[in-house]
């Protein structure tokens, strides 16, 4: 019930405008968002690198309303790629297709995506296409497959809570695509997504095993220690090389676990968001884990 409420609140324009101006909301959001500028994002990436953690930087934003806005977002993403190279950051970028104008037309979005992929290719870098809510799943996969034919420096995200995900994974692997596996953070109807956490976990583990057996470099994205332990057990059982995949986590969440995995010799990458459009992302983080909300409530009573 709480998760559903928080996800619904993420779509509230009134609450978004209030939060964007509220100093307390901004302060607590900094737990999960590196800042509002590229400079703050790069500084956070350097700090993570110093701890042995790789990064994937995300300029926050989604569902752009016009072509100019989408083009400006793409320019910022290209700035990230340049900054990563110039500052010698061990990192890549993550993007959302609705941020690049997917709602405005698939061909328009594809054109912008190609420019970003060209820039990344020139700089020997990698671009991960985030998966959004289910209305965009088919469109996102279609564009991914279109560009994958020419660009091998692009990957996709698959959400374990969707019934269709195993079939999608099989097709992506057949085409040589790289996958970040996560559980999923959007509100979806039980007609298309597992409503019970137990079933999501079981599907996550099934897909994880398929990914690790594929001999393609994938990412296992989770803060759930049971899922991490299941992954490590499978890797050790099957003698899968540690450098053939990586764990991924979100900025500001389970820092202790991130550090432990690095100490134990596992590859870890942190999803590092920044930008002024932090509200929807922030609300989804609160919805994912009760501990995130408790962190915010605890800080309400601090000076």
Instruction: Give me Rg for the CA atoms of the chain.
Output: 18
**What ranges in 31-132 are assigned the alpha helix state H?**
38-50, 67-86, 106-122
User: 128, 178, 180, 284: which is the annotated catalytic residue?
Assistant: 180
The residues, ordered by sequence, that sit 6+ positions from 202 with a Cβ below 8 Å of its Cβ are none
Determine the 3-state secondary structure of 269 from DSSP.
strand
| DSSP strands (E only) in the chain | 54-59, 91-95, 127-129, 154-159, 178-182, 218-221, 245-250, 268-274
**Known catalytic membership, residue 269:** no
**Known catalytic membership, residue 3:** no
Neighbours of 198 (CB within 10 A): 8
Neighbours of 284 (CB within 10 A): 19
Separation CA 285–CA 103 (nearest Å): 24
Determine the 3-state secondary structure of 129 from DSSP.
strand
Neighbours of 153 (CB within 10 A): 18
Separation CA 48–CA 27 (nearest Å): 20
Q: Is the dihedral of CA 60, 207, 162, 292 positive or negative?
A: negative
Long-range contacts of 109-118 (CB under 8 A, 24+ apart): 109/70, 109/143, 110/143, 110/146, 110/147, 112/70, 112/71, 112/74, 113/143, 113/147, 114/147, 114/151, 115/74, 115/78, 116/74, 116/77, 116/78, 116/81, 117/147, 117/151, 117/153, 117/154
User: 128, 130, 254, 285: which is the annotated catalytic residue?
Assistant: 130
- Residues marked as catalytic: 130, 180
């Amino acid at each position: 019930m709480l998760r559903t409420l928080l996800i619904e609140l993420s779509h509230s324009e009134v609450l978004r405008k209030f939060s964007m101006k509220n100093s307390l909301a901004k302060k607590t959001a900094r737990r999960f968002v590196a800042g509002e500028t590229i400079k703050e994002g790069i500084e956070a990436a350097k700090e993570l690198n110093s701890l042995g953690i790789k990064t994937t930087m995300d300029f926050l934003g989604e569902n752009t309303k016009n072509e100019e806005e989408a083009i400006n977002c793409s320019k910022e993403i290209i700035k990230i790629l340049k900054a990563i190279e110039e500052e010698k950051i061990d990192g890549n970028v993550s993007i959302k297709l609705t941020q690049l104008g997917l709602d405005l037309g698939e061909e328009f979005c594809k054109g912008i995506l190609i420019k970003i992929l060209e820039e990344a290719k020139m700089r020997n870098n990698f671009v991960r296409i985030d998966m959004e809510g289910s209305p965009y799943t088919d469109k996102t996969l279609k564009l991914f497959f279109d560009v994958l034919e020419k660009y091998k420096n692009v990957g996709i995200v698959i959400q374990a809570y969707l019934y269709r995900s195993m079939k999608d994974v099989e097709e992506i692997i057949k085409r040589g695509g790289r996958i970040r596996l996560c559980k999923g953070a959007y509100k979806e109807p039980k007609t298309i997504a597992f409503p019970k956490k137990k079933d999501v976990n079981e599907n996550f583990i099934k897909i994880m095993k398929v990914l690790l057996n594929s001999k393609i470099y994938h990412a296992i994205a989770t803060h759930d220690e049971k899922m991490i332990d299941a992954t490590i057990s499978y890797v050790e059982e099957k003698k899968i090389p540690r450098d053939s995949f990586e764990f991924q986590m979100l900025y500001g969440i389970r820092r202790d676990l991130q550090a432990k995995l690095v100490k134990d010799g596992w590859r870890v990458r942190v999803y590092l968001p920044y930008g002024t459009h932090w509200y929807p992302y922030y609300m989804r983080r609160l919805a994912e884990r009760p501990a995130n909300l408790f962190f915010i409530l605890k800080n309400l009573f601090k000076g």
